[in-house]
Structure 1
Amino acid sequence: MTKHTFAICAYGDSPYLEACMKSLVSQSVKTNIILCTSTPSQYIEKLAAQYKIPVYVRQGESDIQDDWNFAYDKADSPLVTIAHQDDMYGKDYVKTLLKYYGKYPDMTLFTTDYVTVKERDLKGKKLVEWVKVILRLPLRNPKWNHFTWVKKAALMFGNSICCPACTYQKKILGDHLFQSEFRYTLDWDTLLSLAERRGRFICVERPLIYYRVHSGATTKKWIQNNKRSEEELAMFAKFWPKPAVQALEYFYKKAYGAYE
Structure 2
Amino acid sequence: MRKKKYCHVFSVPCYGDSPYLEELIRSLLRQSLRAHIILVSAGDSVFLRELSARFGLPLYLREGKPCLRDDWNFAYEKGAELAELVTIAHQDDLYDPDYLKAVLHAFSLYPDMSLFFCDCRTIDASGNVFSRRAEAVKRLLRLRLRNHERADRRSVKLSALRFGNGIICPSCCYCPSLCGTPLFQNSYRFIIDWDTFLRLSRRPGRFLSLEKPLLSYRVHGGAETARQIESHNREKEEEEEFRKLHGAFLAGILMLFYRRAYSAYGKDKKK
The two structures share one fold, judged by TM-score above 0.5: yes
- 1:164-216 per-residue CA deviation (whole Å, 9 max, x = no partner) reads 10000012223321101312111000000000101100000100011111111
The count of aligned residue pairs is 260
Deviation at 1:255, TM superposition (A): 2.0
Instruction: Trace 1:84-233 onto structure 2 (pairs within 5 A).
Output: 84-119=90-125, 122-233=128-239
TM-score (norm 1): 0.96
Deviation at 1:162, TM superposition (A): 0.7
Deviation at 1:239, TM superposition (A): 1.5
- 1:87-109 per-residue CA deviation (whole Å, 9 max, x = no partner) reads 11000000010001000000000
Which residue is 1:54 aligned to?
58
Indicate the RMSD between aligned Cα atoms, in angstroms. Answer: 1.3
Q: 2:78 aligns with which of 67, 74, 81?
A: 74
User: Identical aligned pairs, as a percentage?
Assistant: 43
Report if the CA contact (8 A) 1:214-1:259 is conserved: no
Bigger mean CA offset, 138-147 vs 121-130? 121-130
Alignment pair present for 1:258 and 2:262: no
Distance 1:107 1:125 in 2: 30
Distance 1:120 1:26, change over 3 A: closer
Bigger mean CA offset, 40-49 vs 72-81? 40-49
Report if the CA contact (8 A) 1:2-1:31 is conserved: no
The answer for unaligned runs of 5 or more in structure 1 is none
TM-score (norm 2): 0.93
- 1:202-245 per-residue CA deviation (whole Å, 9 max, x = no partner) reads 00010001111111111111111111111001111122121110
Which residue is 1:9 aligned to?
13
Deviation at 1:142, TM superposition (A): 1.8
Secondary structure, aligned partner of 2:53? helix
Report if the CA contact (8 A) 1:89-1:208 is conserved: yes
